[in-house]
Amino acid sequence: MATPDETAASPGGVATEPEGGGVPRRTSRKYNELNGILLVDKPMDWTSHDVVNFVKHRFSPRKIGHCGTLDPMATGLLVLLLGKATKLQERFMGQSKIYEGSIKLGLETDSEDATGRITSERGAEGITREMLETAMAAMVGDSMQIPPMVSAIKKDGRPLYILARKGVIVERKPRPVSIHSMEMLSCEMPCASFRVHCSKGTYVRTICADIGRKLGCGGIMTALRRLQCGKFSVEVAYTVDQMKSWGYPELENAVMPMERVLALAEGDA
């Protein structure tokens, strides 16, 4: 079952260091005095918390945070804030996101993606590419989105994903979201790929589920990659494998300095 969503906060879980646990920890004072932004291309099956923990244990920054969770099944841009840059977390968290993803029609799951338990299987016979493309286009605009049960939103102090694991379904309040654009990239029914530009807090898997409901056949998200957060792009992000061999010079070169970060925060860059 998926953990909470592509853009909102996640439960994190136990943040063990996957696959990279044997990498020596850097304890030099230089490392914990670094301030700025580090762009990471999150690998599949790592939680966002895993990536934070990897950097924390590898380089020992004084403070570290990130600007928007990615589910373990998702890959792509994770914006890490180091040192003084953590004070700007809320400002960068509010930026819009661009994703590429895949949808499969004819199915519904309890997580609205391919990691969940199948709750309905109706098939997508009679649904054409044109119908799907029209449904995607109809998602553009401002709307109220009901978040999935598998999310970190809390009910009476408990994250919904914990209730979902016990089979408990509770009412969720719709939240305002904005979908700035959504376009089909390819299609081989009942599957298609797409690119979507959306606001903070938008659940891309819920977009897929809503499209499936509109078409009367159900739909789930089968893949997701974050390409952009505000002005930050995955094209200039670093992989975890790259960072495993870094020393201080490589890290210092990779971290966006505070002068540049502040300019971006003020909208001047």
10-residue mean pLDDT profile of the chain (269 residues): values are: 42 36 52 88 95 93 91 95 94 94 96 94 95 98 92 80 83 94 98 97 96 97 97 97 93 94 80
Q: Which two tokens stand for residue 102?
A: 């895949």
pLDDT score at 17: 40
Answer yes or no: are the C-beta atoms of 213 and 110 closer than 8 Å: no
pLDDT score at 153: 78
Do strands 75-82 and 219-229 pair parallel, antiparallel, or not at all (unpaired)? parallel
Rounded CA gap, 212 and 107, in Å? 8
pLDDT score at 150: 82
Please tell me the pTM assigned to this model.
0.86
Rounded CA gap, 70 and 48, in Å? 6
pLDDT score at 14: 28
Rounded CA gap, 171 and 20, in Å? 40
pLDDT score at 16: 35
Q: Show which residues are catalytic.
A: 71
Cα–Cα distances (Å) from 245 to 27, 63, 98, 250, in that order, read 15, 21, 30, 9
Q: DSSP class of residue 106?
A: S
Please report the domains of the chain, with CATH numbers, ordered by start residue: 29-94+232-265 (3.30.70), 97-228 (3.30.2350.10)
Count of CB atoms situated within 10 Å of the CB of 64: 19
Rounded CA gap, 136 and 184, in Å? 7
